[in-house]
């Protein structure tokens, strides 16, 4: 059985997240997802939702066999415990494949590192970024306050 690990923040789930996890699941028989704790999110704004809620949302997706919270201090602790055959990084995640592979090798974790494919929007206005979702909410709330809300597209 091939065990796959994917990881990320998964704040405000969107179709890009679903694509990433379905793509990752295709690399093996069992997909485990590690959901970052807020303390480990240092490369972008802190998540809106708490880690447990994000984990529960990820666990509800069909492609996911199990979702786990990341370790609060050492991101490799759950990877060591899960002992994957493959780690699949999101296509736009800031991680360097060679750096991850080196860190895994140093810890004696024998698995390969892959990169998921990207997903383009399928229709005008489809949002594939949590940051873009937040920006859209802020624009709409500002427009609603100012009486300018006109976008009612599905």
pLDDT in tens, 48-96: 999 999 999 999 999 999 999 999 999 999 999 999 999 999 999 988 8
Average pLDDT in the 120-124 region? 94
pLDDT at 149 over 70: no
pLDDT of residue 86: 98
What is the longest distance spanned by two Cα atoms in the chain? 59
DSSP state for residue 75 in the 8-state scheme: T
145: confidence class by pLDDT, cuts 50, 70, 90 = confident
Helix (H) / strand (E) containing 65: none
Give exposure, 43-57, as e/b (b: 16+ Cβ within 10 Å): eeeebebebeebbeb
Detail the residues annotated as belonging to a binding site for ATP.
9-10, 14-17, 92
pLDDT in tens, 13-60: 999 999 999 999 999 999 999 999 998 988 888 999 999 999 999 999
* CATH architecture, range 3-120: 3-Layer(aba) Sandwich (3.40)
pLDDT-above-70 percentage for the chain: 95
Instruction: Answer yes or no: pTM beyond 0.85.
Output: yes
pLDDT of residue 44: 87
Give exposure, 62-95, as e/b (b: 16+ Cβ within 10 Å): ebbeebbebbeeebbebbeebebbbbbbbeebeb
Detail the residues annotated as belonging to a binding site.
9-10, 14-17, 92
């Amino acid at each position: 059985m091939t065990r796959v690990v994917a990881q990320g923040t998964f704040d405000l789930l969107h179709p890009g997240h679903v694509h990433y996890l379905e793509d990752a699941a295709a690399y093996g028989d069992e997909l485990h997802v590690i959901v970052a704790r807020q303390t480990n999110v240092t490369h972008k704004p802190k998540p809106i939702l708490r880690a447990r809620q994000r984990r529960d949302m990820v666990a509800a997706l069909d492609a996911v066999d199990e979702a786990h919270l990341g370790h609060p201090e050492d991101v490799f602790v759950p990877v060591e415990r899960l002992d994957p055959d493959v780690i699949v990084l999101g296509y736009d995640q800031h991680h360097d494949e060679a750096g991850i592979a080196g860190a895994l090798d140093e810890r004696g974790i024998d698995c390969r590192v892959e990169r998921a494919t990207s997903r383009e929007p399928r229709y005008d206005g489809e949002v594939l970024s949590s940051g873009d979702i937040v920006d859209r909410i802020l624009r709409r709330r500002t427009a609603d306050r100012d009486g300018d809300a006109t976008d009612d597209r599905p």
